[in-house]
């Protein structure tokens, strides 16, 4: 018999929560707390605030779980709640990130250097690896909110474009465009470090 997928396991836990099993929700919190924490930290930079927003997102998700029907994966639904909770929190403090215009989605289709981003943690030396990591983190932190979230969900959380579109509540073309622009911005920061030029990305 085939192993159940993560989505199947999550769905079983969700159904147990919906039947009143609070322990099942604790298991979901344990499973996703670090990932949600990391996601929120890309938007909210104060560590204490990150904890508060993460906790609030899980509380909101728990209260809304009765309406969850499994049309999307549980983590996609949870990410969407976490993103909205963080955005609402920033808006309440008057710290909303600037909104973006949508770039041409077609050019995003032609960008094929995603593997390069994933392979950056295997350079010749540990020192270089640390420099690259620090540069990538700085570049990601400097990105506008929508780009930062899109690249985080794709490269760090490993989500599909479809799931990111659901989590960010936008068309898939917009997701592709945001990820393309985020990769370009990160690549631009890395060029001096890796000794490459604009016409030769890496």
119: its two tokens:
């392979």
Shared domain check, 131 and 86: no
pLDDT digits (tens, 9 = 90+) for 58-113: 999 999 998 888 888 898 899 889 988 988 888 887 765 433 333 333 333 333 34
Residues 112-121 have a mean pLDDT of 40
How many independent structural domains does the chain possess?
2
Residues 134-146 have a mean pLDDT of 83
Percent over 70 (pLDDT), the chain: 75
Whose tokens are 């322990």? That residue is 23
CA distance 94 to 30: 31
Please tell me which residue, 15 or 96, carries the higher pLDDT value. Answer: 15
Shared domain check, 88 and 47: yes
Classify residue 143: in a domain, yes or no: yes
CATH number (domain holding residue 117): 1.10.10.10
What pTM, to 2 d.p., does this model score?
Answer: 0.56
Contact of 189 with 138, CB cutoff 8 Å: yes
Cross-strand partners of 11: none
With a CB cutoff of 8 Å and minimum separation 6, the contacts of 73 are 6, 7, 10, 163
CA distance 152 to 150: 5
CATH number (domain holding residue 44): 1.10.1740.10
Classify residue 97: in a domain, yes or no: no
Shared domain check, 163 and 121: yes
Closest C-alpha among 151, 164, 154, 143 to residue 97: 143
Cross-strand partners of 200: 197
Assess whether pLDDT exceeds 70 at residue 127: no
| Last residue in a domain, options 53, 69, 92 | 92
Classify residue 200: in a domain, yes or no: no
Q: What is the pLDDT of residue 57?
A: 92
Cross-strand partners of 197: 200
Shared domain check, 131 and 82: no
CA distance 113 to 110: 9
Shared domain check, 113 and 86: no
Q: What is the residue-averaged pLDDT of the chain?
A: 77
Q: What is the pLDDT of residue 124?
A: 44
The terminus-to-terminus CA distance of the chain in angstroms comes to: 44
| Structural domain harbouring 42 | 6-92
Residues 28-45 have a mean pLDDT of 87
């Amino acid at each position: 018999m085939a192993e159940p997928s993560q989505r199947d396991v999550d769905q079983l836990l969700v159904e147990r929560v919906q039947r009143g099993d609070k322990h099942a929700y604790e298991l979901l919190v344990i499973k996703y707390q670090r990932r949600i924490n990391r996601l929120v930290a890309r938007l909210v930079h104060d560590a204490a605030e990150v904890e508060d927003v993460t906790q609030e997102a899980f509380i909101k998700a728990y209260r809304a779980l009765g309406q969850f029907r499994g049309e999307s994966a549980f983590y996609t639904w949870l990410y969407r709640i976490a993103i909205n909770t963080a955005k609402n929190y920033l808006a309440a403090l008057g710290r909303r990130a600037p909104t973006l215009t949508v770039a041409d989605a077609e050019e995003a289709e032609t960008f094929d250097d995603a593997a390069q981003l994933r392979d950056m943690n295997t350079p010749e030396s540990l020192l270089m690896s640390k420099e690259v990591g620090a540069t990538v983190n700085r570049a990601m932190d400097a990105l506008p909110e929508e780009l930062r979230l899109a690249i985080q969900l794709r490269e760090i959380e490993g989500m599909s474009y479809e799931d990111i579109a659901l989590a960010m509540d936008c068309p898939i073309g917009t997701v592709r465009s945001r990820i393309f622009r985020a990769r370009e911005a990160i690549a631009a920061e890395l060029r001096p470090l890796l000794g490459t030029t604009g016409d030769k990305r890496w």
